[in-house]
Homo-oligomer: A and B are copies of this chain.
Amino acid sequence: MAGSVNKVILVGNLGKDPESRSFANGGKVVSFSVATSEGWKDKNTGERKDKTEWHNVSIFSDGLARVAEQYLKKGSKVYLEGQLETRKWQDKDGNDRYSTDVVLRNFNSSMVLLDGREGGGGGGGGGGYERTNRDDAPRGNYQNRGAATGGRPPAFDADLDDDVPF
């Protein structure tokens, strides 16, 4: 279908160290689980509740896979951008089964490590991160040259409109 979008954005923590599997053709997949959680107040009882969601993440991009192996471990906090993919498989009884993963491939996927330097723990240098294809990204210099001085935008004006909070 021309004209579709399939995007997942997660910020969460790894439940375990990543696992890597290599394939005969030289490729690899790195996979791990990421927890996200949300809290809310029961609107009837006022009781505080929360619920944790676990996401299966699979990385097929070589670059991102390397970063994941090197920098991610149990407890790491990470920003992930990938897509939803549901695999169909058969269990031992021959029944159709489905498993849904958040998949990072070469295109339009990113991973950003969110652990502080100290949070990173182990030996490595701090803050590893990568974005696919970063290396060939042509970039512009948006900073024009010339004379200087001049106005900053005025602060929000409180008295112009009645239906706004200011």
Tell me the complex Cα distance, A99–B4, Å: 22
User: Closest approach, in angstroms, between the C-beta of A75 and any C-beta of chain B?
Assistant: 11
CA distance A144 to B154 in the complex (A): 10
Closest B residue to A135 by beta carbon equals B41
Chain A 66-99 against B: per-residue CB contact (8 Å), 1 yes, 0 no? Answer: 0000000000010101011111111111111111
Residues of B close to A114: CB separation below 8 A: 3, 11, 77, 114
Q: Which of B12, B83, B136 contacts A43 (CB 8 A)?
A: B136
**Interchain CA distance A35-B131 in the complex, whole Å:** 17
* B139, A88: Cβ atoms closer than 8 Å: no
CA distance A164 to B88 in the complex (A): 17
Q: Is A160's CB under 8 angstroms from B141's CB?
A: yes
Say yes or no: is A150 at the interface (Cβ < 8 Å to chain B): yes
What residues of chain B lie closer than 8 Å to A140, measured between beta carbons?
60, 85, 156, 161, 164-166
Residues B96 and A149 in contact, CB atoms below 8 Å apart = yes
A-B contact pairs, 14 of them (CB 8 A): A3-B79, A5-B110, A11-B11, A24-B158, A87-B142, A89-B148, A89-B154, A90-B146, A96-B148, A96-B149, A98-B98, A99-B153, A138-B165, A144-B160
